[in-house]
Amino acid sequence: MMNEQARASGILPDAALDQLFRGARTHNSFHGPVSDEQLHALYELMKWGPTSSNCQPARIVFLRSAEAKERLKPALSAGNRDKTVAAPVTAILAYDLNFYEHLPRLFSHNQSARSWFEGKADTPIHALRNGTLQGAYFIIAARALGLDCGPMSGFDHAKVDAAFFPDGRVKSNFLCNLGQGDPSQTFERLPRFGFDEVCRII
């Protein structure tokens, strides 16, 4: 599968690049099962992705039960409702605004790290940025483990936060349905920018 030239260059085999990026699609219809073991494996893979000062603000709630899905339902936009209720698992990717409280342990070689964030005006931006990096690691890790994803930001954040994070320190970021996707139910692939439209080398 991996030819010698690619192996020497460190490039993953085409089949892997296809599974992670080129052939992967946002799915709208899923079947299961998705086991708890798979959800643990997903976290155990995505957790290694880098964050600023190792701050790891991401918090994840996996909704599997009908009761949990019912709590989510009022927050979903009309176009996302039925497919989300039907998915084997829906993950709420969220982030902890008070992530800095853990830095004495997570970044233990520099005990001043907490002070870089506590009480600072741009700390919510750091939480969102790093929680979102982890959200993307989640998507790619799921694909690497053979799961299909349906990420969504079309929902009422305040309703999700009230229903699942009532203490106010954790904020919802995006949702992601998980399972085995039905390729016949994906939309037509949408265009991407060309390199020269969004990149420059100087």
Site for a copy of itself in 32-51 (CB under 8 A): 36, 39-40, 43-50
Q: How far is the CB of 163 from a copy of itself (least distance, A)?
A: 11
**How far lies 37's CA from each of 33, 42, 115, in Å?**
11, 9, 37
Residue 182 binding a copy of itself, by CB under 8 A: no
Q: How far is the CB of 23 from a copy of itself (least distance, A)?
A: 8
Binder among 173, 175, 177, 181 for a copy of itself (CB under 8 A): 173
Q: Side chain identity at 79, as an amino acid letter?
A: G
CA distance 155 to 95: 16
**E-strand spans in 81-125?**
89-96
Nearer to a copy of itself by Cβ, of 21 and 115: the residue is 21
Q: Which of residues 118-157 bind a copy of itself (CB under 8 A)?
A: 125-126, 128-129, 132-137, 139-141, 144-147, 149, 151-154
CA distance 195 to 198: 6
Burial degree of 22 (CB within 10 A; 0-12, 13-18, 19+): exposed
Residue 26 pairs in a beta bridge with 149
Q: How far is the CB of 134 from a copy of itself (least distance, A)?
A: 8
187: Cα separation from own chain's centroid? 21
Q: Which of residues 90-119 bind a copy of itself (CB under 8 A)?
A: 102, 105-109
Q: Which of residues 54-83 bind a copy of itself (CB under 8 A)?
A: 54, 56, 58-65, 67-68
